[in-house]
């Protein structure tokens, strides 16, 4: 019996089990009910008790060896087959093709651009790291304006003349420095303020600036343009209201409110029961600003406005927390599948 065991061990070692058929043959030859190893176990029953002690161990080793070889060969076949098979198997379920979507802030930005482009506005941009002149001085900010304080604005430590722009109004100056009127442009971009982060404020957010400078541009143009914008953006029955306000770079200045989309002007917690929500600041470009860029305010006039993209997006979709926009939570972002 010893020789038999040894012979079968050699057969196992020599067996080329590299195809599916060969592996099956291997199983039938050695391990199946009619195979040589179960036959040995049958023979084993008849040997003497003394011999059993020695042979039992050897026989079990032989069986283990065959089983291990079978397992290894099957595993090898599986791995080489999966690739080949899935390429061919047309009955397998389709791997879904995941479609992404624009960030809601970008959807709003593109919509705003689209509306103003139809009115003849082009799109400009400018730097986010800006100098004092373009962010403040040229825009007629007095030297002691609170926005110039460290606690409101991020200044660059190495060069106190440089800062992270607090609004997109810097692009008005950059544009008028290199282009003589007529200028009709909108300027979307990111701005920075030293604010504690909450549901309503963040240390960075996005604005769209608008500027129209030409001969005979008047306040009626400002009003009509923003009224048109409000109707396009929020629906044809939207109303606007202009509230007197103050900005150093416009005179006169006005805050633009729209009738509350949620309660249609009746009063709710979104509009704090006033029926109106603020969407933009605006005004006629201050003569000092025009002078600062070498434009004669006797010849040219203009209007400007600035609106927050977050604010408009929150109104559009009923979002109540500003932080959601920058947390990269895919469960939030996936809800904005509609591409405008
Ligand atoms: N720059 C202002 C801000 O950050 C917004 C603004 C108001 C822009 C009036 C304008 C404007 O162009 O005319 O809050």
Q: Model confidence over 29-72: pLDDT tens digits?
A: 999 999 999 999 999 999 888 888 889 999 999 999 999 999 98
Structure tokens at 208: 């769209």
Per DSSP bridges, beta strands 129-131 and 250-259 are: unpaired
Residue 135 is predicted with a pLDDT of 97
Q: Is the pTM of this model over 0.75?
A: no
| Mean pLDDT computed over 195-212 | 95
Copy the structure tokens of residue 49: 């008790």
Q: In b/e form, how buried is each residue of 182-194, taking b as 16+ CB within 10 angstroms?
A: ebbbbbbbebbbe
Q: Which residues pair with residue 192 across a beta bridge?
A: 204
Minimum-distance ligand 1 atom for the alpha carbon of 306: 8
Partners of residue 214 on adjacent β-strands = 301
Phi, psi (deg, nearest 5) at residue 241: -135, 135
Of the chain, the percentage scoring pLDDT greater than 70 comes to 97
Could you read off the pLDDT of 268-321 as tens digits, one per residue? 887 889 999 999 999 999 999 999 999 999 999 999 999 999 999 999 998 989
209 in ligand 1 pocket by Cβ < 6 Å? yes
118 C-alpha to ligand 1 centroid (Å): 22
pLDDT at 81 over 80: no
Q: Is the pLDDT of residue 126 over 80?
A: yes
Atom 10 of ligand 1, residue of closest alpha carbon: 305
207 CA closest ligand 1 atom index = 4
Mutate to test the pocket of ligand 1, among 121, 164, 167, 301 (most ligand atoms within 8 A of CB): 167
- Say what the pLDDT of residue 82 is: 58
Task: Write down the mean pLDDT value for the chain.
Answer: 92
Chain segment 206-249, per-residue pLDDT in tens: 999 999 999 999 999 999 999 999 999 999 999 999 999 999 99
Ligand 1 proximity of 304 Cβ (cutoff 6 Å): yes
211, 217, 278, 281: residue to mutate for ligand 1 pocket, most atoms within 8 A of CB? 281
| Long-range contacts at 134-138 (CB < 8 A, ≥ 24 apart) | 134/165, 134/170, 134/173, 134/174, 135/163, 135/165, 135/166, 135/167, 135/169, 135/170, 137/292, 138/173, 138/289, 138/292, 138/293
**Confidence band, pLDDT 50/70/90 cuts, at residue 189:** very high
Cα 138 to Cα 209: distance, rounded to the nearest angstrom: 16
Q: Burial code of 253-273, b = ≥16 C-beta within 10 A, e = fewer?
A: bbbbbbbbbeeebeeeebbee
The pLDDT score that the predictor gives to residue 100 is: 85
Please report the DSSP string for 4-59 in residue order.
Answer: HHHHHHHHHHH----SHHHHHHHIIIIISTTSHHHHHHHHHTTS-HHHHHHHHHHH
For the Cβ of 153 lying below 6 angstroms from any atom of ligand 1, the answer is no
**Closest among 313, 128, 110, 290 to 212, alpha carbons compared:** 290
């Amino acid at each position: 019996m010893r020789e038999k065991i040894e012979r079968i061990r050699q057969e196992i070692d020599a067996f080329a089990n590299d195809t599916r058929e060969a592996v099956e043959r291997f199983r039938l030859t050695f391990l199946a009910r009619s195979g040589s190893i179960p036959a040995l176990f049958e023979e084993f029953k008849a040997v003497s008790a003394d011999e059993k002690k020695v042979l039992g161990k050897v026989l079990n080793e032989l069986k283990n060896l065959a089983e291990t070889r079978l397992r290894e060969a099957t595993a090898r076949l599986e791995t080489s087959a999966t690739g080949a098979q899935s390429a061919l198997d047309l009955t397998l379920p389709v791997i879904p093709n995941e479609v992404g979507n624009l960030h809601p802030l970008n959807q709003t930005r593109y919509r705003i651009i689209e509306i103003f482009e139809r009115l003849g506005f082009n799109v400009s941009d400018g730097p986010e790291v800006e100098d004092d002149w373009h962010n403040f001085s040229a825009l007629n900010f007095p030297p002691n304006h609170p926005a110039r304080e460290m606690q409101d604005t991020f200044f660059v430590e190495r060069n106190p003349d440089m800062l992270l722009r607090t609004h997109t109004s810097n692009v008005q100056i950059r544009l008028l420095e290199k282009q003589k009127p007529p200028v009709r442009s909108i300027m979307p971009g990111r701005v920075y303020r030293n604010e504690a982060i909450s549901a309503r404020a963040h240390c960075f957010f996005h604005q769209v600036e608008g500027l129209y400078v030409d001969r005979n541009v008047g306040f009626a143009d400002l009003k009509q343009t923003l009224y048109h914008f409000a109707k396009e953006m929020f629906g044809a029955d939207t109303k606007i209201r202009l509230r007197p306000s103050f900005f150093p770079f416009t005179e006169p200045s006005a805050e633009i409110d729209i009738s509350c989309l949620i309660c249609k002007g009746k009063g709710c917690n979104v509009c704090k029961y006033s029926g109106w929500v603020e969407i933009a600041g605006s005004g006629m470009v201050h003569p000092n600003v025009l002078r600062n860029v070498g434009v004669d305010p006797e010849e040219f006039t203009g209007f400007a406005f600035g609106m927050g993209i977050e604010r408009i997006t929150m109104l559009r979709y009923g979002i109540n927390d500003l932080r959601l926009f920058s947390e990269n939570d895919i469960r939030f972002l996936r809800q904005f599948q509609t591409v405008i």
